[in-house]
Amino acid sequence: MPPETPANVTLVQHPLVRHKLSLMRDATCPTNSFRHLLREITLFLGYEAMRDLPLEDRPVATPMETAQMPVLTGKKLCFVSILRAGDGLMGAMLELVPSARVGHVGLVRDDTTLQPTEYLFKVPKDLEQRRVYVLDPMLATGNSAALAITRLKEAGAKDLRFVCLLAAPQGVETLGRAHPDVEIVTAALDRDLDERGYILPGLGDAGDRLYGTK
């Protein structure tokens, strides 16, 4: 853990999260275990990312009596996956809030420039009325996250959070500079990026490990 967590970052440091993330980092972790562990950690991240959802009291009839009980109120939610690896977080987030709408932003990164190019943008039309959670396992250079959030804001989104498994200092800085209003919720702040833009110590390519494509 770095000596100081940046102001735009919420670091989820639960012992189970740290343990399960270490298992995921292991290069010998098989694909099925990687998927299962990602789902488990995402549940923790989702709870933390949604910790400030507003509540209101409504009457609930228990088997004993009717009492005022807290239920969710306020804006509806939308989960947006940055393809393809973001889909690895989507299932667990929908377990937490099955009624949330779903969007997808397809981005491919140039291996030389490390800049993303958009190939798909499909989101609900009422983003301005929803709280939007952008999902991607890795916040590396931050270029893809910044572009995705820019496009979502252009589509009307005003209330956004970014949820990721790992973040590098460069990605945190890039996203914070482009979108200082967006909170980053992550399980770890890693040390650095290598020359290819991969997080160190990281866990490799999250999409390849998630889908077994390498």
The residues carrying an active-site annotation are 109, 113, 205, 208
Q: Cα(206)–Cα(140) distance, rounded to whole angstroms?
A: 11
- Tokens, residue 46: 């989702």
Give the C-alpha distances (Å, rounded to integers) separating 21 from 40, 48, 158, 183, 195.
10, 16, 31, 21, 24
Give burial (CB, 10 Å; 0-12/13-18/19+) of 199.
buried
